[in-house]
């Protein structure tokens, strides 16, 4: 069983995005080790990273998950120096960059990656699997969810609630939100990102709205509501990965 180290800023794991990434890598038989970078403790990079990267028996691949806020001034230089030191004592190994956006990719450009991809890549499983030499295509509903979902009790008038959601990896190119048809008037949902299409499913079990503005690990979709539904569905339109949540019993 190979070992993959994941280096990341703690700010990027507040909602469990990195924990989910590690879980999915583990499904293909690789062991994951976490290397969090805490604010104000960058000097630890000089000591910790060479310790595990320079030893083939401790690391078969390394991933840097990078965002602009996770790369303060001087951090990239420290990371690159640690990678160079590691390569002086071993042969090459997968050095993978996962970036939240182009700004993060530019900020980390001094690091000599063997593979790069973006966190919102819809084909991230295939591309990361190729970089690691394993099959990441299989997944299931057990473990950590693939999404972040939050219900807020604050919203602009005349709404009372806002529902925020996004994928942890990949993207929902066409964002679907649906509730039971009989609750349409009471909940009065509205996708806040702009124009959307609406209608009813062919089996009449759902009233839905679809927005063409994508949801990504960096950009959430928000749905405004006057009341909470008993059941809702959300995610990428037209896929089996749409999430269905039961919110409360119908008689409440």
The CATH number for 67's domain is 3.40.50.2300
Lookup result for tokens 């959307």: 196
Is 142 within a domain?
A: no
**Residues 165 and 124 occupy one common structural domain:** no
Residue 126 within any structural domain of the chain: yes
- Is residue 153 one of the residues assigned to a domain? yes
pLDDT, tens digit (0-9, with 9 covering 90-100), for 45-61:
988 898 899 889 889 99
106 and 187 share a domain?
Answer: no
Q: Which of 72, 105, 132 is the last residue of a domain?
A: 132
The structural domain count of the chain equals: 2
What confidence tens digit (pLDDT) does each residue in 69-104 have? 889 989 999 999 999 988 888 888 999 999 999 999
One domain, residues 9 and 70:
yes
Shared domain for 128 and 24, answered yes or no, is yes
140 domain residue, yes or no: no
* Same-domain status, 118 and 153: no
What's residue 157's pLDDT? 96
Domain range for 76: 3-132
List of E strands, the chain = 3-9, 31-37, 61-66, 95-99, 115-118, 147-152, 161-167, 175-179, 190-191, 197-200, 207-211, 221-225, 231-236, 243-246
Q: Is there a single domain that holds both residue 14 and residue 111?
A: yes
Q: Which of 81, 104, 132 is where one domain is finished?
A: 132
CA–CA distances in Å: residue 233 to residues 64, 237, 238: 33, 10, 12
124 shares a domain with 16? yes
pLDDT at position 250: 56
Question: pTM for the full model?
Answer: 0.93
pLDDT at residue 252 in the model? 47
**pLDDT, one tens digit for every residue, the chain (252 residues):** 699 999 999 999 999 999 999 999 999 999 999 999 999 888 889 888 988 998 898 899 999 999 998 899 899 999 999 999 888 888 889 999 999 999 999 999 999 999 999 999 999 999 999 999 999 998 887 899 999 999 999 999 999 999 999 999 999 999 999 999 999 999 999 999 889 999 999 999 999 999 999 999 999 999 999 999 999 999 999 888 899 999 876 554
Residue 106 and residue 188 in one domain: no
Q: Does residue 108 sit in the same domain as residue 170?
A: no
Mean pLDDT over all residues of the chain? 94
Same domain flag for 119 and 17: yes
Specify whether the backbone of 126 is left (phi greater than 0), alpha (psi in -120 to 50) or beta: alpha
How much is the pLDDT for 92? Answer: 85
Note whether 63 and 165 are same-domain residues. Answer: no
User: 14 and 59 share a domain?
Assistant: yes
Question: Is 138 within a domain?
Answer: no
At residue 101, the pLDDT reads 96
């Amino acid at each position: 069983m190979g070992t993959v180290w994941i280096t990341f800023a703690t700010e990027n794991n507040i909602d469990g995005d990195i924990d989910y990434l590690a879980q999915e890598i583990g499904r293909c038989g690789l062991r994951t080790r976490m290397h969090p970078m805490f604010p104000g403790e960058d000097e630890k990079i000089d000591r910790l990273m060479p310790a595990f990267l320079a030893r083939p028996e401790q690391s078969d691949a390394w991933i840097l998950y990078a965002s602009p806020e996770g790369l303060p001034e001087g951090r990239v230089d420290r990371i690159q120096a640690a990678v160079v030191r590691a390569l002086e004592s071993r042969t090459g190994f997968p050095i993978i960059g996962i970036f939240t956006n182009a700004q993060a990719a530019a900020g980390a450009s001094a690091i000599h990656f063997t593979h790069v991809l973006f966190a919102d890549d819809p084909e991230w499983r295939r591309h990361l699997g190729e970089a690691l030499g394993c099959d990441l295509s299989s997944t299931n509903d057990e473990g950590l969810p693939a999404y972040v979902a939050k219900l807020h009790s604050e919203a602009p008038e005349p709404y009372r609630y806002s529902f925020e959601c996004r994928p942890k990896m990949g993207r929902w190119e066409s964002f679907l939100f649906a509730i039971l048809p009989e609750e349409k008037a009471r909940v009065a949902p509205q996708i806040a990102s702009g124009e959307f299409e609406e209608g009813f499913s062919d089996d009449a079990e759902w009233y839905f709205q679809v927005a063409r503005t994508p949801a990504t690990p960096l950009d959430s979709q928000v749905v405004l509501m006057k009341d909470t539904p008993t059941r809702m569905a959300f995610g990428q339109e037209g896929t089996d990965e749409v999430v269905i949540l039961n919110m409360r019993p119908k008689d409440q």
